[in-house]
Amino acid sequence: MTMPASSLVGEIPRGDWNGFRKYFRYDFTSGFLVFLIALPLCLGISLASGYPAVAGVFTAIVGSILTSLLSNSELTIKGPAAGLIVIVVGCVTSFGFTGGVDPAADLQAYRMALAVGVVAGVIQVLFGLARFGVLGDFFPTAVVHGMLAAIGVIIMLKQIPVALGESAKGTPFEILQNMPHTLANANPQIALIGIVSLVILFGKPLINVAWVKRIPGQLVVLLVAVPLGMYFDLPHTHRVSFFGSEYEINEKFLVSVPSNLFSAITFPEWSALRQVVAWKWVLMFALIGSLESLLSGKAIDMVDPWKRKTALNRDIVAVGIANTVASFIGGLPMISEIVRSKANIDAGARTRFADLWHGLFLLGFVALVPSLIHRIPLAALAAMLVYTGFRLASPREFVNVFHIGREQLIVFSCTIVGVLATDLLVGIVIGILVKLVIHTYNGVPLRSLFKAFLEVEDIDEQTTLIRASQSAVFSNWIPFKRQIEELGRVQRRNVIVDLSDTKLVDHSTMERLEELREEFEHDGLHLSIIGLVGHLQLSGHAMAARRRAMARRRRITIVVDAELEETLVAKVLEAGASGYTTLPCHGVGRRTRSGERAPGEQPQVRVETIVPEVVMERIVDYLHRDLLVKHRATIAVEHVEVLRAEQF
């Protein structure tokens, strides 16, 4: 169990050599527990990506050692991630990967993908040095969640057949179309291992017992699946009959690892870089890997009990260097992985050395007892990935997005469909374009989509006001954020952000402003957000998008003799007013030109209505043409702004 920061007043763990000694028992224990979760996931993700199983372990080992020394991120765990499976398998497939049909072709595709990984790692280093960490703030929240959900769907579709003893080929829609055939031809013994594994993974969270919750579900799966595999004698080739059909059982259903770890080291095939398609995957590896790593790093910082902040650009450099080294020796691309990082916090980690220990445990296990890994059924690993994919694309995620706003659900869904129908990069572009179209529909001026219109004014010696106009949306957030941080966190001033002149403030900006507010508070500063009173929330969610709802209308105030109230109200409604207000009053008029006082106090009525311009014209025309000809009246017409224009 982690201890809250409040219980460690004045003590902020740091990943230096003093912290290594001081927090050894916490980090060592957490590293071991994360290792138990990471081992099967590294193997499963690697196989699902078209790489040898041990490649994922290489990645976790290299990542844990190098990034622990190079990054200041204290609690993130670096390693292969399910979110990159779709990209990596797409890369090897473009280089001729056959899925085991032609081992020589598969090895060549793997080596060519390693060359892509090396170059992508170098580009990530350049990203960090150029301070491109801010790019993580460009992508709309709904698009990022849609991308991850689409990846989850693809992982499930590709791994369900593997969990049943079959193979999955083709596009996601083709795999879905062939699913009835896959289910009908499932290998009974392999399917039993896969189904039992899924029952454990989905059922364990439902058991509300403290000691059960502390046991990693992946470990329970291994403790059950390995004995089942031994019972079914998976290492030896034989045949089984089931309902009149025969199925072959052999060691192809087990994880294959070399007996010597060093013999598994594989070097890149540099000729791949002469192909144009290779550079598409270089971009995907670098861009999506960096984005996922940034998002994971920010998410873990938010739940860090000591509220330590990762230097994101430095972290990208560290990940890039580790990716370059890992790919050079045969490893998968890596990111800051959020599930293992959260497990690291829950296990009581204090510093980055927990990540180091988890990698050293992996190294020791694979180097000393690789035969135990060979006992793990592939169906069990596939079940773990199905569970991971389900968590990425959980129905709850759709509900959460809908609660934020219907427009968010549209962007989220379009991104998912775009990724499934095309590929990851095109799907993301589709999601962003849909978001921009919705912003335009909601009144965002085209010129402000990518430019922040800001005015800066010093209120006093310690406080600065930033007045935003036009819009505050994801696509112009980067310069907006840069201005806020320059004034606040660099110049050490309190900042007030006035959004009253914006036509739209989107959900991504609302979330990021709240994140900045928390960061200011952590730094002993104040960030205040004002000017949203005149904006209408697009849903009841606290971080929902806001559209300016204050519209210009005309308020007509008429003071006449009380006996004219009924007639005047009828005429106002007849002219098109949606409502009115009347108040009894009394008063004395001004002196006449002859100097005589107007008649004494008379019972009067004040009639007030708020109407559009065209209705105002009708009412004023009536007042001039009929009322003022026969009666004394005081009339005032003024511009007002109303919150709900449709009511007037």
pLDDT of residue 8: 44
Q: How confident is the model at residue 467 (pLDDT cuts 50, 70, 90)?
A: very high
pLDDT of residue 599: 56
Which neighbouring-strand residues pair with 505? Answer: 472, 546
Contact (CB, 8 A) for 618 and 542: no
- Cβ neighbour number for residue 256 with a 10 Å cutoff: 13
Residue 1 has pLDDT above 50, yes or no: no
Q: How confident is the model at residue 5 (pLDDT cuts 50, 70, 90)?
A: very low
Mean pLDDT, range 314-336, rounded to an integer: 96
**Backbone conformation region of residue 374, classed left if phi is above 0, alpha if psi is from -120 to 50, else beta:** alpha
153-202 pLDDT per residue, tens:
999 999 999 999 988 888 888 889 999 999 988 999 999 999 999 999 99
Mean pLDDT, range 36-48, rounded to an integer: 93
Residue 481 has pLDDT above 90, yes or no: yes
pLDDT of residue 489: 86
DSSP 233: T
Residue 473 has pLDDT above 90, yes or no: yes
pLDDT of residue 438: 95
Alpha carbon distances (Å) from 63 to 67, 130, 300, 323, 351? 6, 22, 17, 7, 15
48-105 pLDDT per residue, tens:
999 999 999 999 999 999 999 999 999 999 999 988 999 999 999 999 999 888 999 9
- Cβ neighbour number for residue 582 with a 10 Å cutoff: 16
Torsion, CA 290, CA 410, CA 303, CA 198, rounded to 10: -90
Domains of the chain, start order: 13-395 (no CATH), 446-548 (3.30.750.24), 551-589+598-647 (3.30.70.120)
Could you tell me which residue, 620 or 8, shows the higher pLDDT? 620
Mean pLDDT, range 24-44, rounded to an integer: 93
Most confident option among 163-167, 422-426, 504-508: 504-508
Parallel/antiparallel/unpaired status of strands 77-79 and 335-337? antiparallel
Residue 476 has pLDDT above 90, yes or no: yes
Distance in angstroms between the alpha carbons of the first and the last residue of the chain: 57
DSSP string, 144-186: HHHHHHHHHHHHHHHHHHHHTT----S-HHHHHHTHHHHHHT-
Q: How confident is the model at residue 589 (pLDDT cuts 50, 70, 90)?
A: low
Mean pLDDT, range 604-611, rounded to an integer: 94
pLDDT of residue 2: 42
Percent of the chain with pLDDT over 90: 68
Q: Which amino acid is at 96?
A: G
Mean pLDDT, range 358-363, rounded to an integer: 95
